[in-house]
Structure 1
Amino acid sequence: MRHLATWDADTTLANPLTAAPRGLLLDPAYRAGVAQLGALGLSYDAWLFFPQLPELYDLAKANPDVPIVVNHCGGVVRIASYEDKRKEVFDDWSRSMRALAQLPNVYVKVGGLGMRINGFDFDKGERPPSSMELADAWKPWMHTCIEAFGADRCMFESNFPVDKGSYPYSNGWNAFKRLTAQARPDERDALFRGTVSKVYRLG
Structure 2
Amino acid sequence: MMRIDSHQHFWRYTPQDYRWISDEMAVLKQDLLPQALRQTLQRHDIQGTILVQACSSVQETRFLLELAEETDFVRAVTGWVDLSSPALQGYLEALSHPLLRGFRHQVQDEPSPAQWLADPAINAGLNLLQRQERVYEILVTHRHLPEAVQFAARHDGHFLVLDHFGKPDLSLGAAHWKKQIAPLTALKHVSCKLSGLLTEPRPAEMSASDLLPYFEVALEVFGTERLMFGSDWPVCLLAAADENPWDLCEQATASLSSDEQAAIYGGNACTVYRL
Q: Bin the TM-score by the shorter chain.
A: 0.7 to 0.9
- Correspondence 1:176 to 2:260: no
1:10-64 Cα distance to aligned partner (Å, 9 max, x none): xxxx999952523211111111111112211101101101121111221111111
1:128-185 Cα distance to aligned partner (Å, 9 max, x none): x9xxx53x22211111111210111000110111121114598421221121111011
Change (3 A) 1:168 1:199: farther
Higher helix proportion, which one?
Answer: 1
- Correspondence 1:77 to 2:160: no
- For structure 2, the 5+ residue unaligned runs are 1-19, 23-54, 56-105
- Correspondence 1:37 to 2:129: yes
Distance 1:110 1:100 in 2: 15
- For structure 1, the 5+ residue unaligned runs are 1-13, 123-128
- Report SS of the residue matched to 2:187: coil
Distance 2:248 2:136 in 1: 27
Task: State the identity %.
Answer: 26
- Correspondence 1:67 to 2:159: yes
The AA in structure 1 aligned to 2:251 is R
Shift of 1:77: 3.1
TM-score (norm 1): 0.74
Shift of 1:121: 4.9
TM-score (norm 2): 0.56
Equivalent residue, structure 2, for 1:6: none
Equivalent residue, structure 2, for 1:94: 178
Change (3 A) 1:137 1:170: closer
* Match for residue 196 of structure 2 among 112, 118, 127: 112
CA contact (8 A) 1:158 1:169 kept: no
CA contact (8 A) 1:114 1:164 kept: no
Distance 1:161 1:179 in 2: 21
Q: Which protein shows a greater Rg? A: 2
Equivalent residue, structure 1, for 2:230: 157
Higher strand proportion, which one?
Answer: 2
